Structure 1
Amino acid sequence: MSSTDNQSSRHSAGAFDVRNVIAGLIGLYGVVLVLVGLFGQSAADREKTGDVNANLWAGIAMAVFALAFALWTWLRPVVVDPGADVTGDEDPAAH
């Protein structure tokens, strides 16, 4: 088996990587907060926060955090070992 065969048999965790789930959820909440900050802000809400649009700023921060997680997943993917036992047929005490 050559090194190119070994490289082609390796694959990443893809959608099953927990960083994708975290990025998706935090990104979704961030987008919702940005939209609420842009379109659902009242004068009473701004008065409560000292004239700061807290929903907008928190949403932007969450969107940046989600983007950072997505970028991390893309730049450093988790490589799944092709020899790993995924069926669970082996006796764990044998290791």
Structure 2
Amino acid sequence: MTDLHTEVSALERKSATAARLFDIRRIIGGLFVLYGVIVTIAGLSPSEADLKKAQGVHINLWTGLAMLALGLFFLIWMKLRPAVAPADVPDPARADVAPAAVPEPADG
């Protein structure tokens, strides 16, 4: 019984790790931070032609900073509210699991 309990605990930890690893917020946040850094660096030294096209606005710098902020938001959100593995839902087709009790409607 102890070996089975240990194995189940190990599988639950692996499932929780997989849920955190493939959290979409990690992917979105990471990509936004990466591209935000690239665009911010490009926006630090714009050419005169680039500024003229953007009507004097440092558009790459502002867009890069916004992308960095959004990416950091996703990553902070992931840290504050980590993903949890989905709860096991009993399979009604299994014979060893008793079906859930359904309350009878009250006459009234």
Instruction: Please say whether Structure 1 and Structure 2 have the same fold, judged by a TM-score greater than 0.5.
Output: yes
The reply to whether residue 49 of structure 1 matches residue 41 of structure 2 is no
The reply to whether residue 21 of structure 1 matches residue 27 of structure 2 is yes
Q: Tell me by how many angstroms 1:82 deviates.
A: 6.2
Cα deviation digits, residues 33-83 of structure 1 (max 9, x gap): 0000013x1000001111111000000000000000001101111101364
CA distance in 2, matches of 1:33, 1:27: 10
User: Which among 44, 65, 70 is matched to residue 65 of structure 1?
Assistant: 70
CA distance in 2, matches of 1:81, 1:46: 50
CA distance in 2, matches of 1:26, 1:73: 14
Q: TM-score, normalised by structure 1?
A: 0.71
CA distance in 2, matches of 1:36, 1:78: 34
2:37 match? 31
Q: Tell me by how many angstroms 1:27 deviates.
A: 0.9
Q: Looking at both structures, which has the greater relative contact order when contacts are Cα pairs under 8 Å and sequence separation is at least 6?
A: 1
In structure 2, what residue type is equivalent to 1:23? G
In structure 1, what residue type is equivalent to 2:53? K
CA distance in 1, matches of 2:50, 2:24: 35
1:87 match? none
Kept in 1: contact 2:29–2:72 (CA 8 A):
yes
Q: TM-score, normalised by structure 2?
A: 0.64
Give unpaired runs (5+ residues) of structure 2: 1-8, 94-108
Name the structure where strand makes up a greater proportion of residues.
Answer: 1
Give unpaired runs (5+ residues) of structure 1: 1-5, 85-89
Aligned residues: 79
